[in-house]
Amino acid sequence: MFSYRHAFHAGNHADVLKHVVLSATLRYLVQKETALSILDIHAGCGLYRLDGDYARTSSESQQGIQQLLASRRAAPDSPVAAAVAGYLDILQAYNPGMADGGSPRIYPGSPAIMQHFLRPQDQMQLFELQPADMRALEGNMANLPLARRTHVWHEDGFNGCLRFLPPPSRRALVLCDPSYELKSDYAQVVRWLDAALTRFATGTYLIWYPIIPRPEAHELPRKLKTLARQAGKSWLHATLSIKSGVQSGVHIPGEKVKRGGMAASGVVVINPPYTLHAELKDALPQLRDWMGQDHLAGFHLEKSPDHG
């Protein structure tokens, strides 16, 4: 349960997709003055060092945010999609040196991106079970503005978040992105969303998942869309692949085969902002072009028929 550490994966292509969608969604939601409840049920550390031991061990940011920035700087006159530009603005807020062409040293995880949009009238609830990550999360959030509006809970977010639904303001964004290390995580996500929609059907729910050769991963988006349809709610589904997921090359018998890593991921948003589909229609081709590793890089974007 406690083996997964997101610090190894911070800033990879899956983070970029998730955080582009998250920041675009929040940017829309905070346009309304009414208080917003923001919940992250698998919060991690909140902030990550891209030059730290964990990130350097995996080097996953090299095919994610570092590749995106390199491609952007190679074509400085190319227009940037609004959702991508908004995401990069947040990254630069945590890395002022980027304005002069420097590389980012700090990567803002989902809690830090959420905090970027937090207002005095809002509340943020963060859940993290991994003890070391929870302590790091507490310290990182305490050093950011509006810390008193942020609450860190050392408990299972699947169950813990339900007591905050519905919020007093009847407005909330809930992010669900477990590690999916266990096959049972996929079924747990479905059960959790069913319970959350039963309590609070009008909330905005953002669920990230890996696209890997596992039946549970293939079935998850279909099940999430079915729950939304049964609740009479709209949905949006976006995926991004940066390369082929198939191993290639000559392997010597007895030699351990190097894993290629996750090549694609997806996001399902229940009750998405009506602007999100158009924003992602512009952003996803750019993410594919700027982070794609081979000719099989691609994306997919679909929405429910009743979503404008």
Q: Judge residue 305's burial from the number of C-beta atoms within 10 Å of its C-beta, 0-12 exposed, 13-18 middle, 19 or more buried.
A: exposed
Sign (positive/negative) of CA torsion 209, 189, 271, 33? negative
Answer yes or no: is 279 a known binding residue.
no
Answer yes or no: is 241 a known binding residue.
no
Instruction: Determine phi and psi for 128, rounding to 5 degrees.
Output: -150, 125
Instruction: Provide the edge-to-edge strand list for the sheet that holds 298-303.
Output: 150-153, 123-127, 37-40, 172-176, 204-210, 264-270, 235-241, 298-303
Answer yes or no: is 42 a known binding residue.
yes
Distance between first and last Cα of the chain: 40
C-alpha–C-alpha distance, residues 230 and 220, integer Å: 15
Q: Which positions are annotated as active-site residues?
A: 177
Residue 256 Cα to chain centre, angstroms: 31
- Residues with Cβ within 8 Å of 82's Cβ and at least 6 positions away in sequence, in order, are 24, 279, 282, 283
Q: Return the DSSP state at 93.
A: H
Answer yes or no: is 97 a known binding residue.
no
Answer yes or no: is 156 a known binding residue.
yes
Contact assessment for residue 143 and residue 75, using Cβ atoms and an 8 Å cutoff: no
Annotated binding residues for S-adenosyl-L-methionine: 19, 42, 110, 128, 156-157, 177
Annotated binding residues: 19, 42, 110, 128, 156-157, 177
